[in-house]
Chain A
Amino acid sequence: MNARPSPIRGDLVKLAAVALAGLAAYVVFPNDLGLMTRVVSAAFLVVSLDLITGYAGIATLGQAALFGIGAYAAANANLYGVGEPILMVVVGGLAGAAAGLVFGAVVLRSRGLAQLVLTIALVQLVHEAANKLSDITGGSDGLAGIEAAPVLGMFKFDLYGHTGFVFSLVVLLATLAVLCAIVRSPFGLKLRAIGRDPGRVRTLGAAVMPALLVTFTLSGTVAGMGGAIEAISAGVVGLDGVSFERSAMALVMLVLGGSGSLFGAVFGTAAFMGFEQIVSTANPFHWLIIVGVLLVVVVLFVPRGLSSLGHELKRLIVITGLKAEKR
């Protein structure tokens, strides 16, 4: 108990695990690179949601708006001549950051149901606006013809999606590394505390609202980067990127994986989308039944997500063991 486990080493191990899993998937499923790249870009969305919901404790059903805005920004930058994919990711991140700040400013004034309704209203508003502003979004047809130049002028995007996948994975790993540092920083500690009890944090002398605005901005950056990644690897940006349904699914992936843990979010995304691919090819509505039931079970019985199952089981065994001893 006294030896304090090094959190940084733990993070490095998990980062390495994500990298290895990604490379293993790359080797084992060379024909599913399109799906796997979508998993990676969705992981950005779910991780960004984790910052707001898992860490800051604010439920949102509108996160996809930030993702979509990043995607549209990167796509437009490309159509206006920005070819370098890293620069496109930066553009997506900046657009997402600005959107995240606005989102936070609108949402943070309310609480409870009103707050949830605001998040939904915002994503619907962005969706309707994207539908209407077809000059920059392509409307319901989407924006096509996005062609990123070779990464750093060296790695050309190929038809099979090899470069797309590796590029996405590398950017995800870099983002996760930065976020790990932030989550462990003094700010991250304060953020985790705010997520549990903002009022108590205030009585320690820490202002909550500015910290939450920073978090929304950060979250928007990550979501916007994910949108850019999707624009780059898919070559098209569609309206479904900014939808309530996508926001809700991101929340489901987060909770199944384990909110309040960056790697739980990544795990949840990969597991969810992997199973979805298998089950929904058979019947998409059976998949919905499974997700629904799973969600109810997880929320009621495994509140910290499936990635915590091992830990929870261990605890359960320990607790029952203690009770048995007492008898």
Chain B
Amino acid sequence: MDMVIGIGLDALAYGMLLFIISIGLSVMMGLMRVINLAHGAFAMVGGYIASYAIRQLGLPYGIAVPVAVVATVVVALPLEFGLFRRVYGGTDPLKQVLMTIGIAFAVIGIVNAVFGPTIKPIPLPPALHGTVDLLGHTMAVHRLLLIVVGLAIAAGLWLVMEKSDFGVRLRAAVDNADMAAALGIRTDRLYLVTFALAVALAAFGGIAGAELMPIEPTYALRYMVTFLVVVSVGGAGSTVGALAASLLIGLVDTAGRYLFPSYGTFFTYLAVILIVELAPNGLMRRAA
């Protein structure tokens, strides 16, 4: 029983982390219809900047995190203007894959040249160090915080998507970009804001999840597959779908590690293949 709770809590924390990082990718895929293999690179850059800000510049955690998130967005935005914009929409997916994997390669190389090949820890403030008792199970405070923040982001995004003017425009553009443009929605500005939001969430996830997914140069490729899986399984552009897929992948992966440690991620990928075969359009398909 203790094990079940343990798996459940760990899976929840991991799933929430996947959600925080992947939701931006999902919205980008739904809205701009671009397969972005550089998304993990943005999360990684966020982690590097935060680590540098805390360990080299001595900034407190609470300030370093927003600074790193903003800095990552600032670094990434020129890529939107110069590169991403060229492959939005129904362009050849191979072109999107290659361009964004090229960006990921370059970022890996640059990050390594600047920061070196070792794992960069992101020291937590004392307040997040301890553990709490939850359902008779000890849990690290920062993991609990990850769950809470993840839920808050999910709720916030849901509110923005369903209730705000921005969300209405965004959903309209997801459903039909041409129609949205014809109705006077400035799609290019919408794309820019969405891109910035996606990068910001990725960077935040990269920082907050550094303990589960350590920050090192190959991060960008190592976890990219997982993020893509979440989007594919959840259905591009769906907040609820991404949340469900994140939790599902988090659960399968965590349970696999607990129960069959020698099989690595075998069962995760087996589950992915089965899910994609059964629901090729994702768990939560938006009405076409």
Give A contacts to B, CB under 8 Å: 53, 57, 59, 61, 106, 109-114, 116-118, 120-122, 124-125, 128-129, 131-132, 244-245, 248, 251-252, 255, 259, 283, 285-296, 298-300, 303
Q: Does B228 contact A (CB under 8 A)?
A: yes
How far does the Cβ of A132 sit from chain B's closest Cβ, in whole Å?
6
Q: Does B97 contact A (CB under 8 A)?
A: yes
Name the contact of A132 in the complex, choosing from B110, B112, B266, B280 (C-beta under 8 A): B266
Name the contact of B281 in the complex, choosing from A114, A120, A290, A299 (C-beta under 8 A): A114
Known contacts A124-B225, A295-B98; 6 additional CB pairs below 8 A are: A106-B277, A113-B228, A117-B276, A285-B108, A290-B109, A292-B103
User: A292 touching B269 by the CB < 8 A rule?
Assistant: no
How far does the Cβ of B122 sit from chain A's closest Cβ, in whole Å?
22
Cβ–Cβ < 8 Å partners of B103 in chain A: 292, 296
Taking CB as reference atom, which chain B residue is nearest A287?
B109
* A110 CA to B281 CA, complexed, in Å: 9
Given A106-B277, A120-B228, A121-B273, are A299 and B263 also a contact pair (CB < 8 Å)?
A: no
Cβ–Cβ < 8 Å partners of A111 in chain B: 280
Cβ–Cβ < 8 Å partners of B269 in chain A: 121-122, 124-125, 128
| Contact residues, B90-114 vs A (CB, 8 A) | 93-95, 97-99, 101-110, 112-113
User: A114 touching B265 by the CB < 8 A rule?
Assistant: no
Cβ–Cβ < 8 Å partners of A303 in chain B: 95
How far does the Cβ of A232 sit from chain B's closest Cβ, in whole Å?
29
* A22 CA to B20 CA, complexed, in Å: 51
| Contact residues, B265-280 vs A (CB, 8 A) | 265-266, 269-270, 272-273, 276-277, 280
Name the contact of B86 in the complex, choosing from A106, A121, A300 (C-beta under 8 A): A300
* A102 CA to B97 CA, complexed, in Å: 24
* A124 CA to B221 CA, complexed, in Å: 13
Interface residue stretch chosen among B59-67, B160-168, B229-237: B229-237
Cβ–Cβ < 8 Å partners of B83 in chain A: 296, 300
Q: List 20 A-B contacts (CB under 8 A).
A: A110-B280, A111-B280, A113-B228, A113-B232, A114-B282, A118-B272, A118-B273, A118-B277, A121-B276, A128-B266, A131-B264, A244-B221, A251-B97, A251-B101, A288-B106, A291-B102, A294-B102, A296-B103, A299-B98, A300-B99
